[in-house]
Amino acid sequence: MDPHQASSHPPQPRPPPPRPTRGAPGTGPTAVLPPERTWPMTGPRPARASSTDSPHPRPERRRPLLRRPRLVVAALALSLGASLLASGATATALPDATAPSLTAAAPAVEPPSTQNVVFFDDFNGPAGAGVDGGKWTHEVGDNWGNNRESQYYTPGTRNAALDGNGNLAITARKENPNNYQCWYGRCEYTSARLNTAGKFNAQYGRVEARIKIPHGQGIWPAFWMLGADYADVGWPQTGEIDIMENVGFEPGRVHGTLHGPGYSAGGGIGASYTLPGGQRFADNFHVFAVDWSPNRISWSVNGTVYQTRTPADLGGRQWVFNKPFFLILNFAVGGEWPGYPDASTQFPQQMLIDYVRVTEGQTPPPTGRTGTITGLAGKCVDVANANSANGTPIQLHDCNGNAAQQWTVPGDGTLRAYGKCLDVDGPSTADGAAVHLWDCHGGPSQQWAISGARDIVNIPANKCLDVREHNTNNGTRLQIWTCSGNPNQKWNTP
């Protein structure tokens, strides 16, 4: 047995209690925890589909009703206008990124101009004071046994209070002062989980927090978001964006993940980031952030981007992140992913949050980018004979700087030349379907995503723009084909 999975209280299967209706958001600072999503952040994290480098694969996790579903997550540039490519760089999603040269401590960051800040909490106040009830709600309960976590989340200030030094301290304790009952019997630990549901929802912009995480076997802190429509559609349909989560047996690594329909729990999409030189995240404060725009999310640690995700990463599955999400901070103890505390784990443990900030319009996707699209043999995507008529074939040709090779990425999922759109003939989703120029109509045959791997993907077909038969001759037609990673499907875009 994996020693990190060992538990002093072997899980005894017990039917989860009926899911209670979550306290009405905004009616008070305390709400009953709904059952955790099938694989929320408070439960064991499954192995990330996009990263197999961890020696401790994530077990399947179950999602709670209001509990955060773990959505791992790293992204490619999909909204063709929201891509890192717009700056000339590729948005490569790394399964495990390592900081090139990062100072151990991240300095405190002053909030930017308030005209762009839509949510900010710096947790200033006297030691022992509670959180601002106008911004945060306590979730209360044992997370319904999801992820087989061991803690009981309490209300009040016992486990979540200001420390008097400008931080929120979420404290996990090995105690049970009120005979709390958990899925496995009498609870062994207390902690806290806070969310902004019904009080603040974010949609696009920069979402960040400066946090000093706790450490030790069985420790599981996280900063994440759930779709504001969670109560209506449930998890994973609502979507989950895990901005940061750490499991104690990986002291120098954090994970970022997306969860949604068809890619939740162990199938979440994400990547991890590792500090250099054996540093531990628990030794200093670090800034964890996502920069979020339509069809594109990038994760960073201390300003270093380590992954970007777009619909092109989902293999044709639904992208559910172009809508409002609420924020969650929690500190779980135990679970199928982190394992359980052992004799080496010290209590109490604290997760310190210096600030949480959401800034709109900080990193809007670039729009109207115009230039050439180059591919195989360095040749250009070209409108045949410079003919702007509907149905004109799109081909490979020597680059010449003519208007027939000038493509615009307007940010709406289309690629345009002569004011018309790159379109799949038919429309068809079959291998070998030709592409041509056509009046823009917003249909699926004209929806494209640029991935960090330099694929141009037709979203409904989940197939790549392809040079027929790897032929580098001028005039070779372009088509869609099952994505293979071959050079005839790799492109450099504006």
Residue positions annotated with a catalytic role: 240, 245
Q: Burial, 136: exposed, middle or buried (Cβ in 10 Å; 0-12, 13-18, 19+)?
A: buried
Phi-psi region of 130 (alpha: psi -120 to 50; beta: other; left: phi over 0): beta
Q: Which of 26, 196, 200 is nearest to 118 (CA)?
A: 200
Tokens at residue 207, please? 């979402």
DSSP label of 350 = E
> Do residues 51 and 272 lie in contact, with contact meaning Cβ atoms separated by under 8 Å?
yes
CA 18 from chain centre, in angstroms, equals 29
Q: Burial, 35: exposed, middle or buried (Cβ in 10 Å; 0-12, 13-18, 19+)?
A: buried
Amino acid (one-letter) located at 55: P
Q: Which residue has the tokens 């030794």?
A: 283
CB contact burial 421-440 (16+ within 10 A = b; e otherwise):
bbbbbeebbeeebbbbbbee
DSSP E strand boundaries for 88-195: 96-98, 117-121, 137-140, 151-153, 160-162, 168-172, 181-182, 185-186, 189-191, 193-195
Reduce the DSSP state of residue 94 to 3 states and report it.
coil
Give the residues across from 137 on adjacent strands.
195
> Do residues 90 and 75 lie in contact, with contact meaning Cβ atoms separated by under 8 Å?
no
- CA atoms of 33 and 35, how far apart (whole Å): 6
Write the DSSP string, 2-27: -GGG--SS-----PPPPPPPPPPTTS
- CA atoms of 213 and 219, how far apart (whole Å): 10
Residue count of the chain: 494
Amino acid (one-letter) located at 492: N
- CA atoms of 76 and 313, how far apart (whole Å): 6
Tokens at residue 301, please? 């640690």
> Do residues 438 and 391 lie in contact, with contact meaning Cβ atoms separated by under 8 Å?
yes
Contacts for 120 with CB less than 8 Å, ≥ 6 apart: 111, 114, 355, 356, 357, 358
> Do residues 261 and 237 lie in contact, with contact meaning Cβ atoms separated by under 8 Å?
yes
Tokens at residue 55, please? 């020696």
Give the residues across from 408 on adjacent strands.
370, 416
